[in-house]
Structure 1
């Protein structure tokens, strides 16, 4: 089954609140004939668009190939949360790579949020960045650890923007009885992801990037230079970046061994009027502590955007609205009567340890993907780090690449059934 067309129509943005709330840009032509570039980027999501923009601003000649539309994949469908830190917390990173490298990874992640805010302000003001993400603990026994972690970030990492919340303080910011406490990080925030992606695309094209849609890569011949082929074009480039994330499929087998696609689902209610302010009075986004995470926020027009539920394999369920509505009403019974105006799914890339997978696949061929639901800021930053590497400053890309991202057991062939078994266990644990 083809991951690019299993759930979506070729050359069209999938129906969603995001696609309905921003004007669709005019399609860009497919790549044709023989092309020459300094860099060829495969994929037009946050990673590829950020890389293209940063490389073009550095004076490089860039060709970007997108199999569907720019922002078509997870970049245009996600929950829009711009979180501080890496996908693993600093305690886990200290155990994994040591304190010094964990601090350097923290600094990269902090810069990623600042970079995303800056690019959104300059190139996508309609993305409507709003500050604040609440981490909400669904079990009382988790609250003490969350509060201790907030103190650790403040005392050891100088992160003063995070504060602990007891049950009453959390309830005042998120009108649900489902949570026992947590934290609020006002350095983090949320935005309209498709508007942000389209803003990056406009900026990259203005900077001189040659961008092509409906240009699916059929093969890459590594060498100096490398050759990237589509059905109708042949791009010769000094450098190649794979930036396909969850929609990579098996196109790059070495990446597919470590990055697996999973599906996630979001519903958008009707505009809620005064009820929106009652539910999230400070307009913060929320992500809870469940392994199969619930995440939610308000849209710019006062809808509840609620993400929940996962599936594995390529096909989406027949009734996406029911899959995400169920946990939404469990968290907010007051939304039981709210009309669902939009329901959609998307595919993201995850890794075994949930850290992104940066890789040098050859002397001049690179990959960045596997953001594991933490990709708005980190994928944006991945583009900048790849641009630095191509310009001869590889240190920060290599720091990310040195973080272990193990192969899935069984490789690409057996990863899905094994992961399904593991996820069923963790889903059960969430309910205990």
Structure 2
């Protein structure tokens, strides 16, 4: 990849000008890494995956160092829609076909644990504001019918009774839009202040003894019995390494980069809506729709509409307010005169099969990334599963490999993106353009 996404759209060591950054809780900057550093575990990346890994590893008594290229929560963890969704990125029908019913059940239970972990952690954090409820808004009647059947399946086969199917009027009463044919509401899911949650993870990790270094971009990895991470000013030698870089992997780890594709997504926050807020969302739930390029939204604690979606096919961010305003007004034309106060972009990562990419790219090195827009809960749980895997390996309990939750996800098939380094981005652009055209035409 010719463009380093760590520096393509953002200022060094600064959060983007987002509503999240404007309302974040205080966290003093961490120092840069310098000199020779020794650790039991070196974690590269200070988002949900990296900081959850660090926290849970430190709780197991290991000496942990975290290296972050910018600030804690700088990447997708501090910019996303904050939705703590149920299940995996693929539904249970798909998982049953690919992994079998037994493993599909394990993956469902894992996702339930992920939501519970976020709720438990958020309960002790400042200004994270966990709120329950995510609605699924369907553009076509066939999607409404499928949502109803899927809710029945979850209740019947997975003992999950939190999803209520909604007809057109039922959904409209919740979301205040005439655009949809119906959908459902999952009251077992929820949403949070994305950046304050990752800052809360950093504070918990620091209290557990983790050393966090910011503005310490890793430029080279050296694999071996004792992996090494090098920055411009430091060299960290460790017994185990965790790669938690998601869409920013670039050329740092090419076997992961071949299976994880960075894409950009965009979010706006309107001016405070005041009394109009209840006309947009009758209760403070979050929503996502059935477009291929998903639209997602919720109300902030100060009654702004935080709305994400739209697409851009290039590494540079476009005029974010302009590209997001179009899908926003398609759903809420009554907000045509509403001011947009914040507009920001972010880089996430997708995989070919849209399931997260868990892997061991080298001896004593674990990686988790590619959450494909479903990472708030799963990335947080990924850190806990990584800690369990590293702890088992460090203690010699498994002869070098555990068959816990990490490996259940690592065993899922992950194809490389076609086209190699030269062609995979143009091929993805072509595919995304086709599917977004289908969205616009209503196919």
After the TM superposition, which residues 142-157 of structure 1 pair with which residues of structure 2 at under 5 Å, given as runs?
Answer: 142-157=143-158
1:413 deviates by: 2.9
1:259 matched residue in structure 2: 260
1:228 deviates by: 1.2
How many Å separate the matches in 2 of 1:27 and 1:121?
24
How many Å separate the matches in 1 of 2:73 and 2:313?
22
1:24 deviates by: 4.7
1:416 matched residue in structure 2: 425
Aligned partner (choices 65, 68, 75) of residue 66 of structure 1: 68
| Cα displacement string for residues 102-143 of structure 1 (whole angstroms, at most 9, x for unaligned residues) | 111111111101101111112x24110000000110112211
SS in 2 for 1:136: strand
1:300 matched residue in structure 2: 301
SS in 2 for 1:346: strand
In the TM superposition, structure 1's runs of 4+ consecutive aligned residues that sit over 2 Å from their partners are none
How many Å separate the matches in 1 of 2:421 and 2:134?
34
How much is the aligned-residue C-alpha RMSD, in angstroms? 1.0
1:312 deviates by: 3.4
How many Å separate the matches in 2 of 1:155 and 1:250?
45
Q: Is 1:33 paired with 2:35?
A: yes
CA contact (8 A) 1:291 1:427 kept: yes
1:346 matched residue in structure 2: 346
After the TM superposition, which residues 368-383 of structure 1 pair with which residues of structure 2 at under 5 Å, given as runs?
Answer: 368-383=368-383
2:183 matched residue in structure 1: 182
How many Å separate the matches in 2 of 1:137 and 1:107?
26
CA contact (8 A) 1:388 1:394 kept: no
CA contact (8 A) 2:25 2:196 kept: no
After the TM superposition, which residues 325-344 of structure 1 pair with which residues of structure 2 at under 5 Å, given as runs?
Answer: 325-344=325-344
Q: Is 1:119 paired with 2:121?
A: yes
1:414 deviates by: 1.7
1:311 deviates by: 2.0
CA contact (8 A) 1:240 1:366 kept: yes
1:191 matched residue in structure 2: 192
CA contact (8 A) 1:267 1:321 kept: yes
SS in 1 for 2:310: strand
How many Å separate the matches in 2 of 1:382 and 1:99?
22
How many Å separate the matches in 2 of 1:312 and 1:237?
38
CA contact (8 A) 1:70 1:201 kept: yes
Q: Is 1:403 paired with 2:426?
A: no
After the TM superposition, which residues 101-116 of structure 1 pair with which residues of structure 2 at under 5 Å, given as runs?
Answer: 101-116=103-118
Task: Figure out how many residues of one structure are paired with residues of the other and give that number.
Answer: 430
After the TM superposition, which residues 5-16 of structure 1 pair with which residues of structure 2 at under 5 Å, given as runs?
Answer: 5-16=7-18
| Structure 1: runs of 5 or more not aligned | none
1:428 deviates by: 1.7
CA contact (8 A) 1:261 1:313 kept: no
1:404 deviates by: 1.1
1:85 matched residue in structure 2: 87
How many Å separate the matches in 2 of 1:394 and 1:241?
18
1:140 matched residue in structure 2: 141
CA contact (8 A) 1:261 1:312 kept: no
2:361 matched residue in structure 1: 361
How many Å separate the matches in 2 of 1:384 and 1:311?
33
| Cα displacement string for residues 262-315 of structure 1 (whole angstroms, at most 9, x for unaligned residues) | 000001000000111121111110000011110000001100000011223321
1:250 deviates by: 1.9
1:394 deviates by: 4.4
1:315 matched residue in structure 2: 316
Q: Is 1:205 paired with 2:206?
A: yes
CA contact (8 A) 1:355 1:372 kept: yes
1:226 deviates by: 1.1
| Structure 2: runs of 5 or more not aligned | 393-401
Q: Is 1:427 paired with 2:420?
A: no
